[in-house]
Amino acid sequence: MIPYFEIFSITPTFDIDQAQLEAEYFKAQRLFHPDRFVGKSVEERNQALQKSMDINKAYEILKNPLKRAQYILHLQGIEVGGEHDSIKPSKELLVEIMELREHLAESTETERIRELHKNSLLEISKFYAKNNWQKMAQETMRLGYLVKMLDENKMKNL
């Protein structure tokens, strides 16, 4: 796997400086954009295209807190939020999410979910700082559920 933090010369962390990430992204894209390789060999153009695609993917992962947390956990050998999760959600988390879904079904008010989302980001940061990967994984799963609920509610209100 491509080391996403390395692509942008960013120290691996959950709390990324978004402005720095964006600046490094544009800097990397300027260096490897395929248009800069028009007069080069097919091999050089293909390498530049691949590098540009890698830069785009790394940026998409690192700018999104949920995907970034999942990626950090992946680096620790922990998979969450995909088809082959190595950790399952706790019973407490599943009960909490079920209750939140019921609440959302009865109301269009999402302020509680937004607040939980914000708190989840803080918890993930805290668990990352302590290298507490198991708790970070549970909190990342919570964040995934919260993001999904917020997205579903947006679609419902369109």
Token reading at 133: 């990967």
CATH top class, domain 4-63:
mainly alpha
**The pTM of the whole model exceeds 0.85:** yes
Cα angle at 138 between 137 and 143, to 5 degrees? Answer: 95
**Mean pLDDT of the residues in the chain:** 92
Q: What is the distance between the alpha carbons of residues 38 and 116, in angstroms, rounded to a whole number? A: 49
For residue range 101-134, what is the model confidence (pLDDT) as tens digits?
888 877 767 888 999 999 999 999 999 999 999 9
Q: Does 74 have pLDDT greater than 90?
A: yes
Q: Are 141 and 92 in contact (CB under 8 A)?
A: no
Predicted local confidence at residue 140, as pLDDT? 98
Residue 124 burial (10 A CB sphere; 0-12, 13-18, 19+): buried
Predicted local confidence at residue 33, as pLDDT? 85
Which residues 6+ apart lie within 8 Å of 91 measured at CB? none
For residue range 31-55, what is the model confidence (pLDDT) as tens digits?
988 888 888 899 988 999 999 999 9
Q: Does 152 have pLDDT greater than 70?
A: yes
For residue range 89-110, what is the model confidence (pLDDT) as tens digits?
999 999 999 999 888 877 767 8
Q: Collapse the DSSP code of 74 into the 3-class scheme (helix H, G, I; strand E, B; otherwise coil) and give the result.
A: helix
Under the banding of pLDDT at 50, 70 and 90, the label for residue 154 is confident
C-alpha torsion 16→19→20→22, nearest 10: 100
